[in-house]
């Protein structure tokens, strides 16, 4: 007898289903968290979600299990020396129990003063307040610095920058946007006066031609890639991929222009050259909405397609074809990623792209636009919240007295109290970590020991810090250097908002209570700020909020982009800012009538080669990037089943290069640059070009950023992650960090 009419008795039924927003990439997919006994056992997505139409990627659908990982820290921790009132032990090598030459230090030589000791919140927060105030009183504002967090909520970020600006009077506030899209942000600020995607990602189906460049969209913004594929397959759009790697999107692209890393400016400028020479320009748009055209055209003279071919390896004829295709489109759009910005000329790269939109007028209408695909779930929001050294929330310059007065009023600060001095950027904060420079650092959720270039030097800077606080969910590679660890909660244990890559502000909701003693970031910051204020003996800047919405309202009262956003209005569907008033419906397409700076500005550009060209000794260009299964420094994904789906770093090398060096697929190889070396397995594949090798940077045991070059873009201060010179030689199995771990995947 069949028992189909009786339900399976083992079946789990959710106690509740909580709607929230994905904590991984900037797409901002809607998640429904199915919770049973305070444990999320399933994630689904509603098919009517305007962002992702029910589709998710592996991270969003399955990658939430880090919440329950046994390594998660849910009790405040302090180093023994702090709790016992001893002086700080000298040197921080002991933290890793590894000496400078990389050899383990015997246990007998390690001081137990560095032990982590579990403690209570009062003790931990008092230690942090005491030490930060001590350093501030001794060395002043310039000794204080903070990393905000592009994974945390808008509310968390707003409060943390407020704490440092209002209490320590410093603008040394930054976050990882410096390491991903700073080049694009600066270029867009210079050219149009704004710094976000001009259109929404779902408008890609309205394009008839679109350029994807410097973005492996299928792996880094998987849901936007689906929309791109749909645009091509179902709506007849034509896609032009300009990228050194043969990424998945090439399969359905009309054209692929495989340029040598770092030759963006000549390739895009040559496209501009063709557009101008063949009179494919939009005369009306250029006359009405841009300035600097004539000078710009003069500067294009030398950027012939042949010149670009010589530098980039892309056939001149393909450059011509691509230029004609884009210029001839009814609705053309450009989507770009870090392959544009992460260069020592990242700002120029992005400007060269922006020029293409100016010349053709493919901006300011639905289905066109300039669209930098933002990396993190809330990197847009963290930037909007003023987690940056030059801007208050709403991109209000800190060196402007009017702006300063507005925030002084909002924060109950005496007139002239806030600093007008531009702060240090992420990269500069660490390089200023020395006597007389930055002495203390507060890190919320970031992991500079994975994400900064040239990690061997970063390590020395971290060791120079006098006092380091880590507020996170795991002790990651950077938290290992901390003096106090404050256990925060992940996205599923707090309320707030994230702003996604296309400026949509969406709710994050509590699915279950914080585990252990951990607390939501915003509560930790408020508690700490009050303790700091009492030690400083100053008027309060207001730190008592009944809920996160009050925080957002305080911010929106000064930052008009968010003025019309309330939790009630975004209960079901997020709003796309600018939302200047409570009855404003949001702004999916920017720049319809004009640009924030008035006219779009053309810039004269020159070709600047990458800082470290390959040579006989280091013959390959290394370019770095991300994998579908992993997320940045790996704090979340390496503590998840995602790590089982892709457990090791592999270096991609072209078959022609592999043959010369006697490297077979799967062989261990040593990849070294002038700054460091790692051993990984090789993947021999035509996905990469001849002379170029690719490494993902998620893996601490083979950290790609040991090799990368810390040369900076002069304007954006973004490091050159995308190109440095390396050598690749066969290595031995036993040199691998985990010889028994082998990735075996058939995906792209």
Partner 1 sequence: MAGINLTIDNKEVTAGEGKTLLEVARENGGNVPVICYHDATTANALCRVCVVEVEGMRVLQPACIVKAAEGMKVQTKSEKVVRSRKTILEMLDSTMDLSEADEIQHMMKDYAVQENRFPDAERRESEVKDDNPMYVRDYSKCLLCWRCVQVCAEDAQYTYAINFEGRGYETQIGTFFDKIIPETSCVLCGQCVGVCPTGALKPKRQFLLEQGVSPNEISVMNTGRKKRKERK
Task: State the residues that interact with partner 1 by CB under 8 A.
Answer: 1-8, 10-12, 34, 36-37, 39-45, 47, 53-58, 61-62, 65, 68-70, 222, 226, 229, 233-234, 252, 628-629, 641-642, 644-645, 664, 666, 740-742, 744-748
Looking at the Cβ atoms of 73 and 605, the one nearer to partner 1 is 73
Question: Minimum CB separation from partner 1 for residue 67, in Å?
Answer: 9
Question: Minimum CB separation from partner 1 for residue 244, in Å?
Answer: 22
Under a CB-based contact definition with an 8 Å cutoff, are residues 490 and 12 in contact?
Answer: no
The CA–CA distances, whole Å, from 208 to 211, 214, 358 equal 10, 20, 17
Q: What is the length of the chain?
A: 748
Instruction: For residues 442 and 326, give the distance between their C-alpha atoms in angstroms, rounded to a whole number.
Output: 46
Looking at the Cβ atoms of 216 and 672, the one nearer to partner 1 is 216
Strand 30-36 and strand 484-487: pairing?
unpaired
Instruction: For residues 171 and 157, give the distance between their C-alpha atoms in angstroms, rounded to a whole number.
Output: 14
Looking at the Cβ atoms of 540 and 685, the one nearer to partner 1 is 685
Looking at the Cβ atoms of 3 and 287, the one nearer to partner 1 is 3
Task: Map residue 104 onto helix, strand or coil.
Answer: strand
Instruction: For residues 67 and 470, give the distance between their C-alpha atoms in angstroms, rounded to a whole number.
Output: 18
Question: Minimum CB separation from partner 1 for residue 318, in Å?
Answer: 25
Question: Minimum CB separation from partner 1 for residue 419, in Å?
Answer: 45
Question: Minimum CB separation from partner 1 for residue 486, in Å?
Answer: 22
Question: Minimum CB separation from partner 1 for residue 43, in Å?
Answer: 8
Looking at the Cβ atoms of 37 and 402, the one nearer to partner 1 is 37
Question: Minimum CB separation from partner 1 for residue 243, in Å?
Answer: 18
Residue ranges with strand state E in 50-143:
77-79, 116-118
Question: Minimum CB separation from partner 1 for residue 69, in Å?
Answer: 6
Looking at the Cβ atoms of 382 and 628, the one nearer to partner 1 is 628
Checking 456-459 for CB contacts under 8 A at 24+ apart, the result is 456/675, 456/676, 456/706, 457/675, 457/710, 458/430
Looking at the Cβ atoms of 4 and 109, the one nearer to partner 1 is 4
Give the chain's largest Cα–Cα span.
85
* CB atoms near residue 233 (< 10 Å): 10
Question: Minimum CB separation from partner 1 for residue 74, in Å?
Answer: 13
Instruction: For residues 47 and 374, give the distance between their C-alpha atoms in angstroms, rounded to a whole number.
Output: 23
Strand 77-79 and strand 39-44: pairing?
unpaired
Looking at the Cβ atoms of 44 and 560, the one nearer to partner 1 is 44
Q: Give the contacts of 2 (CB within 8 A, at least 6 positions apart).
A: none
- Residues β-bridged to residue 371: 335
As given in the structure block, the two tokens for residue 732 are 């031995």
Looking at the Cβ atoms of 99 and 233, the one nearer to partner 1 is 233
DSSP 89: P
Question: Minimum CB separation from partner 1 for residue 73, in Å?
Answer: 14
As given in the structure block, the two tokens for residue 704 are 């790609």
Residue ranges with strand state E in 475-539:
484-487, 496-499, 504-508
With left for phi above 0 and alpha for psi between -120 and 50, is residue 335 left, alpha or beta?
beta
Question: Minimum CB separation from partner 1 for residue 741, in Å?
Answer: 8
Under a CB-based contact definition with an 8 Å cutoff, are residues 498 and 154 in contact?
Answer: yes
With left for phi above 0 and alpha for psi between -120 and 50, is residue 102 left, alpha or beta?
left
Show the DSSP H helices in 63-107 as ranges. 80-83, 93-96
Looking at the Cβ atoms of 151 and 229, the one nearer to partner 1 is 229
Looking at the Cβ atoms of 37 and 435, the one nearer to partner 1 is 37
Question: Minimum CB separation from partner 1 for residue 648, in Å?
Answer: 11
Looking at the Cβ atoms of 4 and 108, the one nearer to partner 1 is 4
Question: Minimum CB separation from partner 1 for residue 691, in Å?
Answer: 27
Instruction: For residues 654 and 656, give the distance between their C-alpha atoms in angstroms, rounded to a whole number.
Output: 5
Looking at the Cβ atoms of 598 and 666, the one nearer to partner 1 is 666
578 preceded by a cis bond (ω within 30 of 0): yes
* CB atoms near residue 674 (< 10 Å): 15
Looking at the Cβ atoms of 249 and 532, the one nearer to partner 1 is 249
Q: Which of 402, 25, 343, 352 is nearest to 182 (CA)?
A: 343
Q: Which of 215, 179, 311, 175 is nearest to 721 (CA)?
A: 179
Question: Minimum CB separation from partner 1 for residue 71, in Å?
Answer: 10
Task: Map residue 256 onto helix, strand or coil.
Answer: strand
Exposed/middle/buried for residue 435 (C-beta within 10 Å: 0-12, 13-18, 19+):
exposed
As given in the structure block, the two tokens for residue 433 are 């970590």
Looking at the Cβ atoms of 38 and 115, the one nearer to partner 1 is 38
Question: Minimum CB separation from partner 1 for residue 510, in Å?
Answer: 18
> Terminal CA-to-CA distance of the chain, rounded, Å?
46
């Amino acid at each position: 007898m069949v028992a189909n009419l009786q339900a399976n008795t083992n079946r789990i039924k959710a106690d509740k289903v909580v709607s929230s927003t994905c904590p991984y990439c900037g797409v901002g997919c809607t998640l429904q968290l199915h919770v049973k006994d305070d444990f999320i056992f399933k994630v689904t997505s509603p098919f009517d979600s305007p962002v992702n139409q029910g589709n998710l990627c592996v991270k969003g659908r399955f990658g939430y299990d880090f919440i329950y990982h046994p390594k998660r820290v849910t009790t405040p921790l302090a180093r023994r020396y702090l709790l016992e009132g001893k002086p700080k032990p000298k040197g921080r090598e002991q933290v890793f129990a590894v000496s400078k030459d990389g050899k383990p230090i015997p246990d007998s030589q390690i001081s137990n003063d560095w032990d982590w000791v579990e403690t209570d919140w009062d003790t931990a927060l008092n230690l942090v307040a005491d030490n930060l105030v001590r350093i501030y009183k001794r060395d002043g504002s310039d000794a204080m610095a903070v990393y905000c967090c592009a994974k945390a909520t808008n509310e968390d970020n707003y409060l943390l920058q407020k704490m440092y600006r209002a209490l320590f009077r410093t603008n040394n506030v930054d976050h990882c946007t410096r390491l991903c899209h700073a080049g694009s942000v600066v270029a867009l600020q210079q050219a149009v006066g704004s710094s976000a995607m001009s259109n929404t990602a779902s408008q890609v189906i309205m394009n008839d031609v679109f350029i994807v460049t410097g973005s492996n969209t299928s792996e880094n913004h998987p849901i936007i890639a689906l929309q791109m594929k749909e645009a091509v397959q179902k709506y007849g759009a034509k896609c032009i991929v300009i990228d050194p790697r043969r990424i998945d999107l090439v399969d359905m692209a009309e054209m692929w222009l495989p340029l040598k890393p770092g030759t963006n400016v000549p390739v895009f400028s040559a496209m501009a050259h063709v557009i101008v020479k063949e009179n494919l320009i939009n005369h009306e748009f250029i006359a009405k909405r841009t300035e600097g055209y004539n000078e710009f055209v003069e500067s294009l003279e030398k950027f012939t397609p042949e010149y670009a071919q010589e530098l980039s390896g892309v056939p001149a004829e393909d450059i011509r074809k691509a230029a004609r295709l884009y210029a001839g489109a009814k609705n053309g759009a450009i989507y770009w990623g870090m392959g544009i910005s992460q260069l020592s000329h990242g700002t120029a790269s992005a400007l060269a792209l922006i020029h293409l939109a100016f010349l053709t007028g493919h901006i300011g209408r639905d289905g066109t636009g300039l669209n930098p695909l933002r990396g993190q779930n809330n990197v847009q929001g963290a930037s909007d919240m003023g987690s940056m050294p030059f801007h208050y929330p709403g991109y209000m310059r800190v060196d402007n007295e009017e702006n300063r007065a507005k925030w002084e009023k909002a924060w109950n600060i005496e007139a002239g109290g806030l600093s007008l001095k531009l702060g240090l950027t992420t990269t500069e904060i660490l390089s200023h970590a020395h006597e007389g420079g930055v002495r203390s650092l507060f890190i919320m959720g970031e992991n500079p020991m994975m994400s900064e270039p040239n990690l061997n030097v970063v390590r020395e800077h971290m060791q120079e810090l006098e006092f380091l606080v880590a507020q996170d969910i795991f002790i990651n590679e950077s938290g290992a250097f901390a003096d106090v660890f404050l256990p925060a909660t992940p996205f599923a244990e707090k309320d707030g908002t994230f702003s996604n890559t296309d400026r949509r502000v969406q709710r994050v909701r509590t699915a279950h209570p914080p585990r252990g003693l951990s607390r939501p970031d915003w509560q930790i910051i408020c508690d700490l700020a009050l303790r700091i204020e009492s030690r400083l003996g100053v008027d309060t800047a207001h730190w008592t909020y009944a809920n996160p919405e009050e925080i957002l309202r305080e911010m929106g009262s000064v930052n008009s982009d968010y003025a019309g956003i309330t939790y009630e209005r975004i209960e079901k569907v997020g709003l796309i800012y600018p939302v200047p008033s409570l009855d404003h419906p949001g702004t999916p397409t920017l720049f319809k009538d004009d640009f924030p700076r008035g006219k779009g500005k053309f810039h004269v550009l020159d070709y600047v080669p990458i800082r470290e060209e390959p040579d006989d000794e280091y013959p390959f260009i290394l370019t770095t990037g991300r994998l579908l299964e992993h997320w940045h420094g790996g704090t979340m994904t390496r503590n998840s089943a995602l790590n089982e789906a892709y457990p090791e770093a592999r270096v991609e090398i072209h078959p022609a290069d592999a043959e010369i060096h006697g490297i077979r697929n799967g062989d261990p190889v040593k990849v070294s640059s002038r700054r460091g070396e790692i051993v990984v397995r090789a993947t021999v594949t035509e996905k990469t070009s001849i002379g170029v090798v690719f490494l993902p940077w998620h893996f601490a045991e083979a950290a790609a950023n040991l090799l990368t070059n810390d040369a900076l873009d002069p304007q954006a201060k973004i490091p050159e992650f995308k190109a440095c010179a390396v050598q690749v030689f066969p290595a031995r199995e036993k040199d691998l960090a985990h010889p028994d771990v082998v990735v075996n995947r058939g995906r792209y």
